[in-house]
Amino acid sequence: MTDPGSGIGHFARFGIDAAMCRRVLEAATAFGVDDADLFFEHAATTSVSLTDGKVNRCSTSVDLGVGVRVVVGDQVGYAFTEDLDLDSMLHAARVAAQIARGGKVVAPVGTRRLVIPDFYPVDRRWDDVDIGVRVPLVRDWEARAFAKDGRVRSVEASLADTDRYVLVVRADGQLAEDYRPMTRAYVGVTAVEGSLRESASYNVAGRRGLDYYDADRQERLVAEAVRRATDALHAGSPPAGEMPVVMAKGSSGILLHEAIGHGMEADFNRKGISIFADRIGTAVARPEVTIVDDATLPGARGALNVDDEGSPTEKTVLVENGVLRSYLHDRISARHYGVAPTGSGRRESFRHPVLPRMRCTYMEPGKSTAEEIISSVEKGIWCESFQNGQVQIGAGDFAFYVRYGYLIENGKLTRPIKDVNLIGNGPKVLESIEMVGDDLEIDEGGWTCGKDGQSVPVSQGMPTVKVGRLSVGGGRS
C-alpha cells in the first residue's frame, strides 16, 4: 500500500497512516478472506432548539472510530473500536477475522484512490458556523409562526447539522474518502381553537451547508407547520375499509419505500426471503410505472458520493416501464449475483456492518395531471403528509401512517382527515397503481430508514399517483 498522498486529509484527521491500515488489514485477512475493509468515521453534530419562546437548549456530539469487516462468501465478521491506536485496531481486526476461514486470500496491495463526484459541495462546513449564527435563525422561525395565525398556541423549533468524514480502506487496495454534510430544520406548532387542539410539524433536510436556508425554504418550513396544525384542527377520521387512495406528490414516496424499496434490497433476495426474490425481468406494474433509487441527486438527504464500502454510487432503476430490473446491491450480493455493486452498501456508523439500503427512492413522472387523478375518484382519500412506515419483506404486507389528507367525494377534495394507518400488500399495490402524475417532486423532509437496528438518512419522491385499493384504518363507517 502506498501512502495516499494528496487526498482530502482524512488520514491526518484520524491520526493514522497507510502503514497502520496495511497492518490492520493484514491481521483482518490473516486466515483468508474474500473481502475486508476498514471504515473510519468522524462525525460532529450540533443542534440548537427553541422551546417556551427561548432558544435555550443546545447539544453537541462527537463520534469517532473504525469498523473492521471481514467477508468470506456471504459470511461477515465485524468488530469496531473507538480507539484509533494500532493495538486497538489490530485487536478489532483479529476479532473480525475469527468469523470464517478458507476464502480466497486477498493481500493488501497498492492503494487506488477512488475518484468520486461531489453531489454535495458546501461553501462552508458546519464546523465553521458559530452557534451564534444558528440561534437567531431558530428564534425567527418561532416569531414567524406566531405571526401567521392567531390560533398558534406554542412553537418548538430546532436546527441540527453534522459534519461527517468517512474513509474506507479496502483489502483490495482501494481507498475512498468522503465529506458528508447534513442539516435538518424542524418547526412544530400546537394550534388551539375553542376546545380543539392539534399539533403538527414540518421539517426540511439535506446534505447542504448554511446556504440551504434561503428565504423561500425558511418561509415554507414555518408556513407548512402552521398550515398543517391549523388545518388538522377540523380534520376527522375517514371511513374504514378498502378504497382508492391518491398519493400526493412528494413525501408519498413512502409508498415506494415500503411497498417495493425494501423488498428490492439484495440481501433479502439472495437469502430468498423477499417477496420479490426470483422476479427480476418480470412485470410487476403497469408500463407507466418506473421506479428508481438514486444516490446522485445534488444535496439530497439520501445522496452519496461513494457508498460505505467504497463503491461508486449511481441511479439504479428498480422498475422500468413496469418490469423489475435491478436489486440494490452491496458487494456481497453483487458477488452472489455476478453483477456490479449499485453503490447501495450503507451503514449507520462505524459500529455497524454494511447492508444494501435505499438512498433516494422515487417514481418517474407520468402523463396525468393531479386534477385528472383526483377527479377520477368517486370515493376515496387523498394523502399528503406521512409519519412512518413498515414492511414485512416476505409476505409483502406494508403500512404507512397518514398524518393528514382529505376525503375525496365525487372527484373533489371535501373534508380533511388525519391520523390513519394505511396497509396493503406490495406486489398487489404495485399492480393497482392506475394513474401516474406529471408532477414528480422529491420531498425535502428529513426521512430516516431503519433496518436491522441501523438508521440511515434517505430521501423519497413521487408524482401524484392513484392506487386502486388500499385498506384505510379509520372510524366507524
CB–CB of 329/344 below 8 Å? yes
Q: Is 448 in the site for another protein (CB under 8 A)?
A: no
Q: Among the candidate windows 107-115, 206-214, 238-246, 317-325, which touches another protein by CB under 8 A? A: 238-246
Nearer to another protein, 99 or 317 (CB): 99
Closer residue to another protein, CB minimum distance, 249 or 403: 403
The yes or no reply on residue 154 touching another protein (CB under 8 A) is yes
Q: Where are the alpha helices (DSSP H) in 98-159?
A: 131-148
How far apart are CB 92 and another protein at their closest, in Å? 7
Q: How many CA atoms lie within 13 A of 64 on its CB side?
A: 10
Cβ-based nearer residue to another protein, 57 or 367: 57
- Which member of 192, 223, 280, 413 binds another protein (CB under 8 A)? 192
In terms of CB distance, is 156 or 288 closer to another protein? 156
Our measurement of the distance from residue 72's CA atom to the centroid of its chain's CA atoms, rounded to an integer in Å, reads: 28
Residue corresponding to grid cell 497507510: 18
Site for another protein in 349-368 (CB under 8 A): 351, 353
Least distance from another protein to the Cβ atom of residue 65, Å = 6
| Interaction of residue 61 with another protein, rule CB under 8 A | yes
160 Cβ neighbours under 8 A, 6+ residues apart: 45, 46, 47, 183, 184, 185, 186
Q: Is residue 38 a contact residue for another protein (CB under 8 A)?
A: no
Instruction: Return the number of other C-beta atoms located less than 10 Å from residue 231's C-beta.
Output: 17
**Nearest residue (CB) to another protein, 120 versus 386:** 386
Number of residues engaging another protein in binding (CB under 8 A) = 86
Give me the phi and psi of 132, to 5 degrees please: -60, -20
CA distance 22 to 422: 51
Between 215-232 and 131-148, two packed helices, what is the crossing angle to 10 degrees? 40
Nearer to another protein, 323 or 423 (CB): 423
Minimum CB distance to another protein, residue 366 (Å): 26
Q: Does 66 bind another protein (CB under 8 A)?
A: no
> Does residue 387 bind another protein (CB under 8 A)?
yes
Question: Among residues 13 and 113, whose Cβ is nearest to another protein?
Answer: 13
Q: Which stretch binds another protein (CB under 8 A): 114-122, 131-139, 283-291, 442-450?
A: 131-139
Which residues have a Cβ under 8 Å from the Cβ of 196 and sit 6 or more positions away? 233, 234
Give the start-end residues of each E strand in 234-372: 241-247, 291-294, 315-320, 323-324, 345-346, 355-356, 360-363
Q: CA-CA distance, 458 to 447, in Å (whole number)?
A: 5
Distance (Å, whole) CA 457 – CA 361? 12
Alpha carbons 191 and 168: distance in angstroms, whole number? 48
Binders of another protein in range 246-265 (CB under 8 A): 258
Query: By CB under 8 A, is residue 231 in contact with another protein?
Result: no
Binding segment toward another protein, per CB under 8 A, in 126-134, 203-211, 367-375, 377-385: 126-134
